[in-house]
Structure 1
Amino acid sequence: MKKIGILYGMENTFPQALVERVNSKGVEGIVAEAVKIDRVIQAEPTEYAVIIDRISQDVPFYRAFLKNAALCGTAVINNPFWWSADEKFFNNCLAEQIGIPVPKTALLPSKERPTDTGETSFRNLTFPMAWEEMFSYIGFPAYMKPHNGGGWKSVYKVENPQDLWNKHQETGQLVMMLQEEIVFDDYFRCYCIGQKDVLVMPYEPNNPHHLRYAAEMKAKGEEGEKLVATIKEYVLKLNIALGYDFNTVEFAVRNGVPIAIDFCNPAPDADIYSVGPDNFEWVVEAAANMAIERAQKHIPGQTNLTWGTFVKNAVVPATVSSPAIATPPTELSEVPAPENEKIAIKKVPQKKATKATAVVKPELAVAVTPPTEKPGKTPAVKPAKKK
């Protein structure tokens, strides 16, 4: 008997529905249940062929448990090794290389020094940094957000350089991104399951949380069909490159061009009360089918993880002949990849920044003098729709 386990936290509708859906299909030799952990011993396999992870991003104990399980052969969805290394700034860099439009983005040093560092820890950082060039490249208004954050936490809209300096005072040791504002005509959130099933959902980020999926697509007819086809193509390319089996991707459409805004959501919202009954039914069915397929293809004692083409293409066979050096496998996953998995990585040239007239301010890291009055925290905001 092969077990499919669901590891989850506070969510109440999706995990139970997924367990029930898998079991209702009556697939011989397959059963689903909530994961049960009574001990975690190094290099000891779990009883699960597949574990769908919905919570380890918030619970380090679970992340360590999942890495041990994966090492011992469990197919963990999503890959906990890659998920631990992934972050939003890297996602944007990779998207550019595979030809998917993303907002212009720059990385900012943290306002406060990381713990256990001093002034000499930053000797490779140029003072002053090229603030004028960065501001000219991004433009204002812009958005400042954590380079590895989620859930629209610590997100600020900044109107000009002075506004950026003021709000950056609140960010502590967070490493932030400065990203251009995309004034959009349409907005979409897309599920991607198993690197092959895609659901494109009209989405309104300015609505209250429970009404964000209560939106209609504005592009109609042939234009709308072409837009949806392009979005599906981009969703698959991103998830195949990153190696995610369960993810969501958000697009803001500007002048007919879908721009990827957020595509690092390996435990995406799937609650029936937020996504709505129709979307909920789709994701439960697609996730159940994926989990069953992975359980059927599971090979005990071998690596059963999914790795993206970014990692696979970087694996080079060893050139030194030595019994102490193992030759890497040609495939890092026992699960066959979709036919369209091979993606050509092409460098997209960056636009050269030009000088701006903004006044250069003190450095964000190390050298910033705190203001005498701490500015009030700006609530998280979303891009405004074009009128």
Structure 2
Amino acid sequence: MKKIGILFGMERTFPKAFVERVNEMNVDGITAEPVKVDVVQQAVGTPYAVIIDRISQDVPFYRAYLKNAAAAGAAVINNPFWWSADEKFINNSIAISVGVPVPKTVLLPSFARPDDTTDASFTNLVFPLSWQQIFDYLGFPVFMKPHAGGGWKSVFKVHNVDELFNAYHQTGQLVMMAQEAIEFEEYYRCYCIGRKYVRIMPYEPRNPHHLRYVSDKNPSPEMEKLLTDYVLRLNNALGYDFNTVEFAVRDGIPYAIDFCNPAPDADVHSVGQENFEWVVEHAAKYAIERAQQHKEGQMNLTWGDFVKRSVADMQSVEKATKEKKASSPAKSSQKAKKQ
């Protein structure tokens, strides 16, 4: 029997519905339940072939538990090693590399020095920054947001230099991004599961939280095709198997605004019954697929194209270096004979 587990925190509607849906599908040899965590022993696996992670972003103990489980062979969705490594700024760079438009963005050092540092810790940092270059590049208005994290925490929309510095002074030790504000005509939030199942949802981020999925905008067939393509490009590059991508559409161009949501909101009371039904069904379907593919005693994690390309490039360099070294003695021998 292969178990699928779901690890979650305060949320209730999605985890319960997910477990029920997997079990209702009645796939031979597969069952689902909430994950039970007790003693976590190094290099010792868990009873779960697949674990859906909904909470480790807020609980470091769970993140460490999931890494240990993955190293022992569990298929953790999403990959806890990559989730620990990525953040919004590098994700923007990856988006550009795969041809997905993103707002112009600049990384800013934290306003307050990190603990256990002094002025001497920043010998390499130009001070003050070339602020005018930043203002000329971004224009106004600008969004100030943390380079990592989510949930609209510590996010400011500023309209001039004074407002920007006032916001910056409130951010403490957070590493921030200053990002071009996309004044949009349409906005969409897109679920992506398994890097193949995509649901495009009209969304209005300016509404109160419980009304954000209430929108009269609907994508044209051409826009729907483009959004689907961009969603798949991003998630294949990043390696996320459960994620949401948000797009702000300006002058017909969808800009990826937020696409680092590996534990996206799936509560029925906020996403609505129709969207909730879709995500429960496809999350259950994909988890079962991963359980069926699971191989005991092997690594069952998935990785994104960005990481896989990096590994492939490194292997190519190593291979070329070995070939060069292997051919060197022969060349030296031939040179000696000629002499």
Same fold judged by TM-score > 0.5? yes
Partner of 2:111: 111
Gapped runs of 5+ residues in structure 1? 322-387
Relative to structure 2, which stretch is displaced further, 88-97 or 244-253? Answer: 88-97
Relative to structure 2, which stretch is displaced further, 159-168 or 74-83? Answer: 159-168
CA distance in 2, matches of 1:165, 1:134: 13
CA distance in 2, matches of 1:242, 1:303: 18
CA distance in 2, matches of 1:19, 1:127: 53
Deviations 1:54-73 (A, max 9, x none): 00000010000000000000
CA distance in 2, matches of 1:70, 1:184: 40
Please give the residue correspondences for 1:25-44 in structure 2 after superposition, counting only pairs within 5 Å.
Answer: 25-44=25-44
Gapped runs of 5+ residues in structure 2? 323-339
When residues 218 and 46 of structure 1 are mapped into structure 2, their CA distance, relative to the original with a 3 A threshold, is closer
Quote the offset at 1:164 in angstroms: 1.2
Q: How many residues are paired up? A: 317
Higher helix share: 2
2:281 partner letter: E
| 1:23 equivalent in alignment to 2:19 | no
CA distance in 1, matches of 2:75, 2:251: 41
* Among 233, 238, 257, the residue aligned to 1:237: 233
Deviations 1:40-99 (A, max 9, x none): 000001000000000000001000000000000000000000000110011111111111
CA distance in 2, matches of 1:116, 1:207: 41
CA distance in 1, matches of 2:145, 2:39: 38
SS in 1 for 2:162: helix
Partner of 2:6: 6
CA distance in 2, matches of 1:144, 1:208: 20
* Among 283, 288, 292, the residue aligned to 1:296: 292
Quote the offset at 1:208 in angstroms: 1.3
CA distance in 2, matches of 1:159, 1:236: 33
Relative to structure 2, which stretch is displaced further, 90-99 or 284-293? Answer: 90-99
CA distance in 2, matches of 1:93, 1:173: 23
**Is contact 1:185-1:218 (8 Å) kept?**
no
Quote the offset at 1:216 in angstroms: 2.1
Q: Report the identity percentage.
A: 66
1:273 partner letter: H
* Among 256, 259, 263, the residue aligned to 1:263: 259
CA distance in 2, matches of 1:97, 1:22: 37
CA distance in 2, matches of 1:123, 1:98: 34
2:41 partner letter: I
Deviations 1:208-239 (A, max 9, x none): 111111112255xxxx1101110000000000
* TM-score in terms of structure 1 length: 0.81
* TM-score in terms of structure 2 length: 0.92
CA distance in 1, matches of 2:160, 2:210: 32
CA distance in 2, matches of 1:309, 1:126: 34
CA distance in 2, matches of 1:275, 1:129: 42
**Is contact 1:143-1:158 (8 Å) kept?**
yes
